[in-house]
Amino acid sequence: MATPTRIPRHPANNTFCSHKSLPVPFQTRLLKDASTPEQLQSLLPASYRTGPDGADLAPPGLDNLAFLEAELGQGRLAKLSARLWMAGRPIPPRALHYQRLLGREIVVAEQMDLHLVWASGRIHVKPLPPFLLEPTFWSDHLSCRGGYGCSRSTDPLCRHRMLWKCSLGFLFSYAGLICHQSDFFIAKEMHLIPEAVEWSDWRLFVSQLGTEHIYNDIDRRFIYGELRLSRLNKLQYLESGLAFRGYMPHWNRYGDFFHDHFAWLASATVYIAIVLTAMQVGLATTSLAENDAFQSASYGFTIFSIVRPVFATVLILLLFCCIFLSK
C-alpha cells in the first residue's frame, strides 16, 4: 500500500481560492513513482483533439491549459448547466454494480461531457486519469496563477479554478461509482482506474474528499449524477437552434434515420386504417348513416387520413435536408 503523504487540506467553508494557496482535496498518494514532472508526463495520453469538431491532433502537456480543458472541462455541458435539472436528478451516481443490476452496459468514453450520460441499456463512464490521483498535479497545475482575482466570492473564477471544480466533481462521481469492493473489482475489470490503486488506499482516499459537504466546491454539472441522453439531445436542439445538432447522433447512417421516422409513420397509418374501417362499418348501419354528427366526423377524418401521411412525409424529408446541410 502506498504511504499516505500529508498535503494541506482546503478549508471546509472556502469555496474560492487564492493563487497563493490553492487547496488539494486529498492527502493520500494512490500511485507510486508519480510525483516528479517526468513521471506525471508519462501518465498523459498520446494526443488530444483540437480545433472545430476535433479536426486536429496535438501533443498533451501538463502546462497546456487547452489540453487540461479538453481532458477535464465540461465542454458542451457548460452551455447546458442551467438546465441540467431537466436531464438528471441531484443525487450522486449509482454504484457500478447497480448499473449492471439495471442491465446497463458500461461503455468507456474518454470525453468528460459524456461521463455518466446514459441511454437505454448503456451508460458512458470516463476512466479516471492517473495524473488526477497525484496531489502534486493539483498544487502545480490546477492552482490559480498570479494576476487572476478569484480569491473572493464576488470575483469570477479563473480557468484553473474552474478546472479544479470540475476535477473535484469528477472525483466525487467516482466516490459514488465505487462504493463497495465489488464496484472496485468492476472498475479494475473495465480499466476505469489505474491498476496500481489498492482497495484500502481507495477507501482512505474517498474519506478525505469530504463528500458530505462537497457540493459548494464542485462544478454544477456533478450535482446531477447520471444524465439522460434523450433529454440532453432535446436541450442541445434548443441550444443549437437551426443547426439541428443533438448531443449525440441517433443515427450513424441516413438509412437508420428514415427507418426510425417512417416506422412510426407506418404505425400511425395502420391505426388510421383501423379507424376508417370502423367508420365504414358504422356508415353501413341505419342509425349512424343518418347521424349528421357522425357523417361530419367521418368526412373530416377521411380528409385528415389523406393529408396527414403526405404532410408527415414532407416534414421528415425537410428535417433530413436540414440535418444533412448542418453536417
Burial of 98 (0-12, 13-18, 19+ CB in 10 A): middle
Residues 6+ apart with CB under 8 A from 183: 95, 96, 97, 177
pLDDT, position 17 = 42
* pLDDT (0 to 100) of residue 256: 64
User: What pLDDT shows up at residue 155?
Assistant: 55
Are 235 and 87 contacting, i.e. CB atoms less than 8 angstroms apart?
Answer: yes
Cell numbers at residue 66, please? 487547452
The confidence score (pLDDT) of residue 70 equals: 92
Greater confidence (255 vs 308) lies with 308
Query: How many other CB atoms are found less than 10 A from the CB of residue 285?
Result: 11
**Per-residue pLDDT tens over the stretch 189-228:** 999 999 999 999 999 999 999 898 899 999 999 999 999 9
Confidence of residue 10 (pLDDT cuts 50, 70, 90): very low
Q: How confident is the model at residue 290 (pLDDT cuts 50, 70, 90)?
A: confident
pLDDT tens-digit readout, 226-249? 999 989 988 888 877 655 677 876
Q: Most confidently modeled of 21-35, 78-92, 308-322?
A: 78-92
**Predicted pLDDT at 315:** 84
pTM of this prediction? Answer: 0.74
Q: CB within 8 A of 190, min separation 6: which ones? A: 96, 106, 108, 125
Q: Is the pLDDT of residue 173 over 80?
A: yes
Which cell is 174 given? 467516482
pLDDT recorded at residue 263? 77
Q: How confident is the model at residue 251 (pLDDT cuts 50, 70, 90)?
A: low
The whole-number pLDDT of residue 102 equals 95
> What strands, in cross-sheet order, belong to the sheet with 122-125?
105-108, 122-125, 117-119, 227-228
Instruction: Read off the amino acid at residue 147.
Output: G
Q: Cα–Cα distance between 138 and 131 in angstroms, integer?
A: 9
Report the sign of the C-alpha dihedral through residues 71, 72, 78, 80, in that order. Answer: positive
Find out whether 186 and 100 touch, Cβ atoms under 8 Å. Answer: yes
Q: Which of 3-12, 89-98, 149-158 has the lowest mean pLDDT?
A: 3-12
Q: What integer pLDDT is reported at residue 307 of this predicted model?
A: 86
CB 171: neighbour CB atoms within 10 A?
21
Q: Given this model, what pLDDT does residue 3 score?
A: 46
The chain-wide mean pLDDT, for the chain, equals 83
Residue 327's pLDDT band (cuts 50, 70, 90): low
**Higher pLDDT pick, 198 / 38:** 198
Beta strands in the chain (DSSP E): 48-50, 56-58, 105-108, 117-119, 122-125, 227-228
pLDDT tens for each residue of 115-168: 999 998 999 999 999 999 999 899 888 887 654 555 454 456 788 889 999 999
